[in-house]
Every structure is written in structure tokens, then in C-alpha cells.
Amino acid sequence: MSRFTDSTRRSFVSDLRSIGVDCATSTYRAAKSFETSSSALFVHEFLRKPTIVGAVWPSSTGLARRMACPVPVQSDGLVVELGAGTGSVTQALLDRGVSPMRLRIVERSAALAQHLRRRFPALPIWQADAADLINLLPEGATVDAVVSSLPLRSLAPQLVSAILDQWRSVLRPGGLLVQFTYALRGESAELQNDFAACDSSIVWKNMPPAKVMVYRRVDTLVADELEAHEL
């Protein structure tokens, strides 16, 4: 049976210490990398203002793609993204083929807006409140779609009402509203007026699972005339 000599033992202990240092160094580097990652930033912002951020983790690739899918590509109208977070949906919109010239990105958090500017230097990133949207857009601008990750169910009712008024003002008749929610059952009561539901689907591969809802802006004048005609 082989035995450890003193020199072998010392060498063995030295190797263990070296491995321990390497492991500690790798762990530290991984931790530092996580601290500066977009996911860590998102979690940090959620812990600071949970009702404003509304999600514990950034949108998955699957959810982001599902939200980008209905957005028209062959058009000149603007596409406004609200609550862009770390940019998952922004990237999906670009990957879908939406021109960067059409995109307008709004994020309330200063830290997340700064992150978005670093990630997408060519895009207009506005650190602003979605309830002030009409003042951010050029006068007379045509908006084809609003893509929203705003946590409408956790926001104050007065703020939600103000945001919906902005959407009614800026979206062209027939324009699309894409909104996701973690409430997998039922429809959004807030969006029943002036918006017609077109589609909804659940993305299970998200944390937590989410439902994507697609609405079309209704021309209330035309709708009223049609209703009067039917009567």
C-alpha cells in the first residue's frame, strides 16, 4: 500500500489550496458578473419599486417574441414600447424586422433606461412616465402599435386611467395594442372601452407564465354610427 510522504502531503495540501483559491476566484467573478448583468439589475429595481416594475424577472425570449409577433413590419407608423425593462421585447421587435427608425422606447426607471441606452445606442430611449406619452411624441405622429409591459393590475387606478387615455389619444384607429399580464384567466376590464380584443395566448415558458393580449384601437365615431345603424 502506498503512503503519503511528507513532501507528497505538502504538495497535496498545496494543490488543494490552489484549487480552493481558483474556486473562490471563479465564484467571486461569477457573482460580480451577475451583479452587473441585466437580470440582476432588473431584480434590484423590482426590490426597490415592486408595484412599478411589476415583474420579478425580465421577460423570456418566448414572451418577447410573442409580443413582437403582431406588430406590423411593413409600415411607416411609430411603434412605442412602454416599460422596456432590460430590452427583451426591444430586441424581439428588432429581430422581427421593425425598423429602428420607427421605434420609441419608454422606461420609467433611471437605471433601466441607462442600461437600455448602452444596449441600444441607436434607439431613442426616453426615461419618462407612460402617462405623459402624448408629450413625448412629435405632434401629429402616427402610431401603429403600442407594446406594453406595464403592470396595469398593480398600478394605482388613477395612473392606469391616465395611461389608457394616452393610448386612446396616440394610437391611430385600427392600431394595435399588445399587453401582457400574469393573470391567465379573464379579460382586462380596463381595456374594454375603445379597444377590441383580437387575440390572446399564454406563454408557459416564462417566469411566471404570462398571457399576451392583442387589441385593436376602435374608431369610436365609426362604431357609434354602426351601432346606431343596427338599431
Q: Is the pTM of this model over 0.95?
A: no
Domain with 155 in it: 50-225
Q: Which of 9-23, 107-121, 144-158, 167-181 is least confident?
A: 9-23
Residue 95 has a pLDDT of: 97
Residue whose C-alpha cell is 471563479:
26
Residues 165 and 190 placed together within one structural domain of the fold: yes
User: Would the pLDDT of 193 be above 50?
Assistant: yes
Give dist(CA 153, CA 130) in Å, integer: 15
Give dist(CA 106, CA 136) in Å, integer: 9
Residues 28 and 77 placed together within one structural domain of the fold: no
Residues β-bridged to residue 201: 212
Residue whose C-alpha cell is 399588445:
178
User: Would the pLDDT of 50 be above 60?
Assistant: no
User: Would the pLDDT of 198 be above 60?
Assistant: yes
User: Would the pLDDT of 180 be above 50?
Assistant: yes
Does residue 43 form part of some domain?
A: no
Residues 99 and 9 placed together within one structural domain of the fold: no
184 C-beta neighbours (distance < 10 Å), count: 12
Residues 19 and 54 placed together within one structural domain of the fold: no
User: Would the pLDDT of 195 be above 60?
Assistant: yes
Mark residue 145 as left, alpha or beta (left: phi above 0; alpha: psi -120 to 50; beta: remaining): beta
CATH for 158: 3.40.50.150
Residues 124 and 190 placed together within one structural domain of the fold: yes
Q: Per residue in 58-95, pLDDT tens?
A: 788 999 999 999 999 999 999 999 999 899 999 999 99
Does residue 102 form part of some domain?
A: yes
Residues 11 and 88 placed together within one structural domain of the fold: no
Does residue 44 form part of some domain?
A: no
User: Would the pLDDT of 8 be above 60?
Assistant: no
What is the residue type of 31?
Answer: A
Residue 207 has a pLDDT of: 84
User: Would the pLDDT of 192 be above 80?
Assistant: no
For residue 8 the three cell numbers come to: 507528497
Indicate the pLDDT class of residue 35, thresholds 50, 70 and 90. very low
User: Pick from 202, 196, 178: which is nearest to 96 by CA?
Assistant: 178
Please give the C-alpha separations between residue 162 and each of 166, 173, 180, in angstroms, as whole numbers: 6, 19, 18
Does residue 41 form part of some domain?
A: no
Q: Is the peptide bond before 121 cis (omega within 30 degrees of 0)?
A: no
User: Would the pLDDT of 96 be above 60?
Assistant: yes
Residue 32 has a pLDDT of: 41
- Please give the mean pLDDT across all residues of the chain: 79
For residue 203 the three cell numbers come to: 406563454
Give dist(CA 177, CA 214) in Å, integer: 6
Instruction: Confirm if 126 and 104 have CB atoms less than 8 A apart.
Output: yes
Residues 29 and 54 placed together within one structural domain of the fold: no
Q: Per residue in 110-164, pLDDT tens?
A: 989 999 999 999 999 999 999 999 999 999 899 999 999 998 888 889 999 999 9
Residue 104 has a pLDDT of: 97
User: What is the number of domains present in the chain?
Assistant: 2
Residue 200 has a pLDDT of: 94
Residues 99 and 20 placed together within one structural domain of the fold: no
Residues 147 and 205 placed together within one structural domain of the fold: yes
Residues 141 and 55 placed together within one structural domain of the fold: yes
Indicate the pLDDT class of residue 49, thresholds 50, 70 and 90. low
Residues 15 and 71 placed together within one structural domain of the fold: no
> What letter would DSSP give residue 59?
P
